[in-house]
Amino acid sequence: MRERIAVLALQGAFLEHEQALERLNIDWCEIRQAKDLEQAFDGLILPGGESTVQGKLLRELGLFHALKKRIEDGMPVMATCAGLILLAEHLVDDPTVWFGTLPVTVRRNAYGRQLGSFFTRGAFGDIADCPMTFIRAPFVESCRPGVEVLSRFDGQITAVRWQNQLAMAFHPELDQDMRIHRNFLEMVRHPASCLCCS
Ligand code: GLN
């Protein structure tokens, strides 16, 4: 079977994810409007950008409930930056909840203005020395038991996995290292696999 990954293409850094999938020779499609949900796809990428804009567009375009249901039903999803905010069950000092399917509390723009954007390298689960580009990034302030912590920067949680949801505060699609995308594809191929315990 050849997997097909849908990329939410409403706003933000979706093109870079599509280019990453091209490099990996993976079939992909874009989700821009409700009729795009009629095509078959096996996994979903929620790109970085502006979560408030993306969340509003998801609702206005009639995509929100269908995508939420598919995530709840177990469709593998990879979320970067704003995507992490869209998945979070709670936001710090903000009553907004978008999909709310990932049992974590996320702080938006968590690194403040001065350290708004930066680059570092670090571990992602058992993948060592991953490039990590942060752009006005959130971090995960707390997570419920059962959520796997995959990365930390400066003591703060920057990547997690919970069941079918893989989410990170940084942008792996902006670097040439494809190991995190490959990992997501493994989740799509083997939904029960666990990055920490496999
Ligand atoms: N600061 C953005 C937000 O709150 C996220 C930034 C990003 O996706 N690079 O939605």
pLDDT in tens, 125-136: 999 999 999 999
Q: Token pair 């038991």 is at which residue?
A: 145
Q: How far is the CA of 42 from the centre of ligand 1 (A)?
A: 25
| Residue % of the chain over a pLDDT of 90 | 92
The closest of 164, 198, 132, 147 to 46, measured between CA atoms, is 164
In this structure, is the dihedral angle defined by the CA atoms of residues 83, 84, 88 and 94, taken in order, positive or negative? negative
> Can you give the pTM of this predicted structure?
0.95
Question: Band of the pLDDT at 36, cuts 50, 70, 90?
Answer: very high
- Using the atom order of ligand 1, give the atom closest to the CA of residue 82: 8
Q: Is the pLDDT of residue 1 over 90?
A: no
Q: Is the pLDDT of residue 69 over 50?
A: yes
Which pLDDT score, from 0 to 100, does residue 115 have?
Answer: 62
Which range (100-114, 125-139, 151-165, 169-183) has the least confidence? 100-114
Per-chain mean pLDDT for the chain? 95
The closest of 36, 23, 88 to 67, measured between CA atoms, is 36
Spell out which residues line ligand 1, taking CB within 6 angstroms.
48-51, 81-82, 85, 108-109, 135-136
Segment 50-64 mean pLDDT: 98
Tokens at 65, concatenated? 């409930």
Which pLDDT score, from 0 to 100, does residue 100 have?
Answer: 98
Q: Using most ligand atoms within 8 A of CB, pick from 80, 96, 108 the residue to mutate for ligand 1.
A: 108
Residue with CA at minimum distance from ligand 1 atom 5 = 82
Higher pLDDT, 191 or 96: 96
Q: Is the pLDDT of residue 92 over 50?
A: yes
Contacts of 154 (CB under 8 A, 6+ apart): none
Which pLDDT score, from 0 to 100, does residue 20 have?
Answer: 98
Q: How far is the CA of 1 from the centre of ligand 1 (A)?
A: 34
In this structure, is the dihedral angle defined by the CA atoms of residues 145, 148, 153 and 157, taken in order, positive or negative? negative
Q: Is the pLDDT of residue 143 over 50?
A: yes
